[in-house]
């Protein structure tokens, strides 16, 4: 029997109620979230400013699931150890923001976290060429980074298929497991197409936190996403 494909849903707390962040992360975990997606913006690499290691440390005791830190910052290396210390489990960064991509990937792993590269819609996949052995995750942006609530960019689908093929070929040649994550504009009504293009890990910010159940939880929207994925 073929092994069922793991499909992970990663609510992005960018769209959560920041005044109640502990409650919010507990509620998405209770609703079946697989990861907490944590968007770090510096008002330099991207035109917005969000949260840093202190907030990561503050939410860490509230959930057991991994914290998936998406760094939209430049430079990258200085902040990596701080996030590892603050309880991050996965750290991804944009290759354009690092002067030494291979070194940054190694630095993240040396600090005990899974490491990954993030590709903006127009960032070429050539950045993958020489670092496949150092990757635990590849994240394709399906919007331009900086804000939640944007529309999914359709050209991400062929790009996902291309990365899926590269990862499958790498695995077939004996390489390590690499997750394929997508971030931006993902919701219950387009998640099937995104999964069919090869993604296994789905970030959803506004779609999750904008659809709170009457009791304050998120079981309804997470259930709809799971349901859609189960048919994919």
Mind telling me the catalytic residues? 39, 183
Q: Is 114 in the site for ligand DX5 (CB under 6 A)?
A: no
Taking CB under 6 A as the criterion, which residues in 14-43 touch ligand DX5? 14-15, 37, 39
Neighbours of 152 (CB within 10 A): 17
Q: Is 181 in the site for Zn ion (CB under 5 A)?
A: no
Q: Is 121 in the site for ligand DX5 (CB under 6 A)?
A: no
Q: Is 11 in the site for ligand DX5 (CB under 6 A)?
A: no
Question: At closest approach, how far in Å is the CB of 37 from Zn ion?
Answer: 6
CA distance 182 to 11: 12
Question: At closest approach, how far in Å is the CB of 148 from Zn ion?
Answer: 9
Q: Is 70 in the site for Zn ion (CB under 5 A)?
A: yes
Q: Is 194 in the site for ligand DX5 (CB under 6 A)?
A: no
Nearer CB in complex with Zn ion: 87/205: 205
Candidates 34, 42, 183, 200; binder of Zn ion (CB under 5 A) is: 183
- For the stretch 215-223, contacts whose Cβ atoms lie closer than 8 Å and that sit 24 or more positions apart, written own/partner, are 216/23, 216/27, 217/27, 217/30, 217/31, 218/11, 218/27, 218/28, 218/30, 218/31, 218/33, 219/30, 219/31, 219/32, 221/31, 221/188, 222/9, 222/11, 222/28, 222/31, 222/32, 222/33, 223/31, 223/32
Q: Is 145 in the site for ligand DX5 (CB under 6 A)?
A: yes
Neighbours of 108 (CB within 10 A): 28
Q: Is 150 in the site for ligand DX5 (CB under 6 A)?
A: yes
Query: Which of Zn ion, ligand DX5, none has residue 184 at its interface (CB below 5 to 8 Å by kind)?
Result: ligand DX5
- In sequence order, what DSSP letters do the residues of 113-127 get, joined into one string? -EEEEEE-TT--GGG
CA-CA-CA-CA torsion sign (167, 82, 202, 6)? positive
| Site for Zn ion, rule CB under 5 A | 39, 70, 183
| Site for ligand DX5, rule CB under 6 A | 12, 14-15, 37, 39, 70, 143, 145-146, 148-150, 183-186, 203-207
């Amino acid at each position: 029997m073929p092994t069922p494909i793991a499909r992970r849903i990663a609510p992005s707390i960018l769209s959560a109620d920041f005044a109640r962040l502990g409650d919010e992360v507990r509620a998405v975990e209770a609703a079946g979230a697989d990861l907490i997606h944590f968007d770090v913006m510096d008002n330099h690499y991207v035109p917005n400013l969000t949260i840093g290691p202190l907030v990561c440390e503050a939410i860490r005791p509230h959930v057991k699931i991994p914290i998936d830190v998406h760094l939209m910052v430049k430079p990258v290396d200085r902040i990596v150890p701080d996030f590892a210390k603050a309880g991050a489990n996965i750290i991804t960064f944009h290759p354009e923001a690092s002067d030494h991509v291979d070194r940054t990937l190694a630095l993240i792993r040396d600090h005990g976290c899974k490491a990954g590269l993030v590709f903006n819609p127009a960032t070429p996949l050539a950045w993958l060429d020489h670092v496949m052995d150092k990757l635990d995750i590849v994240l394709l942006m399906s919007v331009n980074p900086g804000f939640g609530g944007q529309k999914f960019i359709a050209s991400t689908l062929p790009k996902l298929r291309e990365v899926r093929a590269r990862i499958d070929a790498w695995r077939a040649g004996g390489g390590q497991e690499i997750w394929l994550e997508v971030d931006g504009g993902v919701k219950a009504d387009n998640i099937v197409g995104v999964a069919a293009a090869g993604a296994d890990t789905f970030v959803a910010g506004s779609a999750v936190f904008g659809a709170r159940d009457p009791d304050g939880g998120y079981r309804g929207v997470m259930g709809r996403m799971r349901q859609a994925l189960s048919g994919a």
